[in-house]
Amino acid sequence: MVVIELEEDREFLEKLQQAGPSKPVFVDFFATWCGPCRVIAPVFEQLSNQYSSQAVFLKVDVDKLEDTAQGYTVTAMPTFMCFKNRLKQDEIRGANPEALTAMVRKWASTVVPEAGSSGADEAGDGASQSLPKGQMNLHSFMDATRSECLNESDDHKLEHAWGTGGGYLESDVDEQLIITVAFNQQMKLHSLRILADGPKAPKTVRLFLNLPNAPDFDSAESMVAVQEFTLTEEDMKEGSVINLKYVKFQSVQSVTMFVKDNQGGEETTQIDHLAFIGTPVSTTNMNDFKRVAGKAGESH
């Protein structure tokens, strides 16, 4: 078991800070007298073993760490929360093993162990491959309300390319796609990962930054791209990343990807997994920790 049970309130923010900007921290708020807490505890422990290299797992006794529990408005036990970059990202209440497992898999898949280490996500999807040192999958920083894909199939949408459910993104009426991904804060983009195989895999890709609106397909072909590349089969294999011109991707609020064609001239293009890799700009200033974390009585 790799769950850490905290003994003092001060340890909570210390553990969030130690996790850094990339690792999610899952917290089990429990009480010793709570029957459902005891029932689901083995599930939390099992998940901690499975994702030990991808996340931090904490237990907080609400009677012992009263300030922490009150600060995050814990009113029911058990309550499970996910924190990332010191901010609360997700929460579920009650002893629901399926919901707990889904939450852990969702957030732990954005950070992966170094090559050769144990604890990789058993889903076997693109998110489970090692990332460049110091970089992270930026999925958890995406603003879904401002992200979109033009010409996506009704049955195979952009969201299918993010997760661990085995779905994929496919174009609709022809081979082209325009994918716009907005972030909830400024990012430094290091690289991207595209998993695809066969004649439907994308070939020519053009990238644009911080556009006020998604371009139409004619404009995407004629506009000056920040970077353009022609993908090979090797570029889209598991474990591969496509390096970006890092100096040009230092202040990214949104990125638009135009997929012009595919490897085999097929009618539609398919992407099995897509990930943008980098770091939030804000994490470079650790002096902001106290202000970002807030006071004990604040929740995020």
Confidence of residue 285 (pLDDT cuts 50, 70, 90): very low
Q: Is 149 a catalytic residue?
A: no
Same-domain pairing of 147 and 265: yes
Q: DSSP letter string over 18-79? A: HHTTTS-EEEEEE-TT-HHHHHHHHHHHHHHHHTTTT-EEEEEETTTSHHHHHHTT--SSSE
* SS3 state at 152: strand
Does residue 117 belong to any structural domain of this protein? no
Does residue 300 belong to any structural domain of this protein? no
The pLDDT value given to residue 287: 38
| CATH classification of the domain holding 264 | 2.60.120.470
Does residue 128 belong to any structural domain of this protein? no
Catalytic residue among 34, 92, 242, 281: 34
Same-domain pairing of 152 and 18: no
Q: Is 82 a catalytic residue?
A: no
The pLDDT value given to residue 166: 56
- The answer to whether residues 123 and 172 touch, using CB atoms and an 8 Å cutoff, is no
Confidence of residue 286 (pLDDT cuts 50, 70, 90): very low
Domain with 44, as residue range(s), is 3-109
Does residue 26 belong to any structural domain of this protein? yes
> How many domains are there within the chain?
2
Same-domain pairing of 87 and 164: no
Catalytic residue among 16, 19, 37, 169: 37
Does residue 131 belong to any structural domain of this protein? no
- The answer to whether residues 194 and 263 touch, using CB atoms and an 8 Å cutoff, is no
Confidence of residue 184 (pLDDT cuts 50, 70, 90): confident
Does residue 204 belong to any structural domain of this protein? yes
Residue 290 pLDDT greater than 80, yes or no? no
Q: DSSP letter string over 179-215? A: EEEEEEEEEEEEEEEEE--STTSB-EEEEEES-SS--
Q: Where are the alpha helices (DSSP H) in 148-278?
A: 217-222
